[in-house]
Structure 1
C-alpha cells in the first residue's frame, strides 16, 4: 500500500519537474518530431531523466511507466506490484507554444489500483492532488500538501442540454455530431481537469488519451466525488475513451456517447 512518504515523494517529483520545466520554458527549447508525429523537446527528456533518477534511488523495487521511456525507462521490475506513472511535461505542444496549459503528472498505482495522483500547472504555481480514500485538494507550489481547499465536484446539473462539457478530441471526432446536445466548453486556457474539479465545467471527454495523461486525473475526479467511465462498463484508463463527469449528468452523457462512438 502507499505510505505518507509516497505522498511526499510524489510532490517532490512534481516540485523537481516543475522547477526544471519552468527554466526551459523561460529560455526556449529545441524539439523534434517522434515517430507518431507528436513533438518531444529537450525539456521533456531532461525532466524525465531527473525524475527517473529520483525514483531509482528512492523506490528501486517499484516499476515505472513514463511517456518518453515507456515501461522500461530505468530497468525496474515490470511485474512489481507498485507502479509510478509519470508524464514529465504533459502538454508539450502548448509548452512549446508558450501557453499555460501544460504541467507534470505523477501517479502511484498499487496492485492495479490508483492510490496517489498529482497534476500541476507550473506557470500558475498551482497543483491538484489526491490520495485514495482521503479526498482531493487544490494547493500551491509553496504549500503543496495543504488540505485547506478540498475539491468537491458539484452534482447540481441534471440535464445534459444545460451542462458545460469540454474535451480532448481528435479532428473529425464522432463527438462533433452531438456537441449541440450540451453547452460545449471546448478547451481551457489552463486545465480542463481543474475546471471540472472546481465546478467551471460539468464533464470532460477524453478521446484516445494515454495512461500517463489519465492516471492522476481519474483518481482526482473519483476522490472529488465525480464519476469516471470508460464507456465499456468500467473505469479503465487504458481504453479508447474516458469520460469524467459530475454525477448529475453521468448517466445521460455516457449513454449518449456509447450510442455515438459505437
Structure 2
C-alpha cells in the first residue's frame, strides 16, 4: 500500500472526525461512565462510527484498534484511533481535545496525526519524512530541540492522582500542570519533557511517532519505546536520559516498577 495514499486517508479521517466533533462541541451530549471510570459521550461514539465506516470502505482488510470499540480484525496493518482525545475537556467546553490517528505496519508506526480542531491545527508525521504542523492553511516542519539539566527543564505530565512520583515531579523547578495539548507544546518548543503514566496505545501512538520524527526521544523506562507499558516519556534530545533516570531512581526507591 502507498504510504502517501495512507497519509491522505488519515487526513480524511481526522477531517471527518473533527467536523463531527465540532458540531457536538458545547452542545447536549448524553454521557455514560465506562468500566474504568472514564466518561464516553454520544459525540465520541458518533465520531468513532464515522471513522470506522470510512476505513471499512477504503481499507476493508486492515485491522483497527479504537478506544471505544477495542480491537477489530487481524492484519499486519493496523489503524489506531482515539475519536476524541480529551473527552473531559470536550464535555466541559474547553479547547484541549482532538482526534488521534496512527497506522502501524508489522508493529511499526508509519503514520501519526493528532488534531486540535478548536485551534485549526493538525500535527502529522510519516516515518522517515519528519514531523509537521498545519495551522490555518500554513505548514511548518517541526524540530524538537533544547533541554539541558533536569533542574532547569520545563516538565509536565499526565499522572494518576496517587502517582508514586507526583511529589517528586511537582518539586522540580520547571514543573507545570499538564493540558491535553502538552504534546503539541513539546513539539512547538514550549516544553522539554512530558511524562505519561498509564496512557493507552491510542493516546500515545501519534505522539510517539511525531516526537521521534521531530528529533526527540521516546522512552518507556525499560530501554525501549513500547506504547503498552505503564510509563512513557517524551523529551527533547538535549535533556538526554535525565528525566528517565530521575523517574527510574524515584520508582526504585519506592519499589514501584510501574503500573499494570
Length-normalised TM-score, structure 2: 0.93
Where does residue 210 of structure 1 map in the other structure?
A: 200
Gaps in structure 2 of 5+ consecutive residues: 252-256
Query: How far is the alpha carbon of 1:182 from its aligned partner?
Result: 4.1
Any idea what SS the aligned residue of 2:148 has? coil
Q: Secondary structure at the match of 2:112?
A: strand
Correspondence list, 1:168-179, <5 A: 168-179=158-169
The residue aligned with 1:160 is 150
Match of 2:232 among 228, 238, 242: 242
Partners in 2 of 1:243 and 1:111 — Cα distance?
Answer: 23
DSSP-derived class of the 2:224 partner: coil
Alignment of 1:1-262 (within 5 A): 3-72=3-72, 76=73, 78=74, 80-140=75-135, 143=137, 148-155=139-146, 157-179=147-169, 180-188=171-179, 191-261=181-251, 262=257
Question: What is the SS of the residue equivalent to 2:184?
Answer: helix
Give the conservation status (yes or no) of the 8 Å contact 1:2–1:110: no
CA contact (8 A) 2:29 2:43 kept: yes
Contact 2:26 / 2:92 at 8 angstroms: preserved in 1?
Answer: no
- Does the 8 A contact of 1:185 with 1:201 survive in 2? no
Over residues 167-225 of structure 1, what are the superposed CA-to-partner deviations in whole Å (9 max), with x where a residue is unaligned?
A: 0000021222312234101113x610010000001000000000000000000000000
In the TM superposition, residue 27 of structure 1 has moved relative to its aligned partner by 2.2
Q: 1:2 to 1:84 in 2, by over 3 A?
A: farther
Q: How many residues align?
A: 251
Q: TM-score, normalised by structure 1?
A: 0.93
Shift of 1:250: 2.8
Write the distance in 2 (CA, Å) between the matches of 1:187 and 1:207: 12
Secondary structure of the corresponding residue to residue 201 of structure 1: coil
- Residue pair 1:13, 1:51 contacting (<8 A) in 2 also: yes
Deviations 1:221-250 (A, max 9, x none): 000000000001100011000000011113
Deviation at 1:256, TM superposition (A): 0.8
Instruction: Please list the CA deviations of residues 116-141 of structure 1 after superposition, one character each: whole Å capped at 9, or x if unmatched.
Output: 0000011111111000000000103x
Structure 1 gap ranges (5+): none
Contact 2:26–2:91, Cα closer than 8 Å, also in 1: no
**Cα RMSD for the two superposed structures:** 1.3
Tell me the distance in 2 between the aligned counterparts of 1:2 and 1:208. 33
Contact 1:166 1:185 in 2 (8 A): yes
Do the aligned residues in 1 keep the contact of 2:67 with 2:202 (CA within 8 Å)?
A: yes
Give me the whole-angstrom Cα distance separating, in 1, the residues matched to 2:53 and 2:166: 42
Q: The residue matched to 2:166 in structure 1 has which SS? A: helix
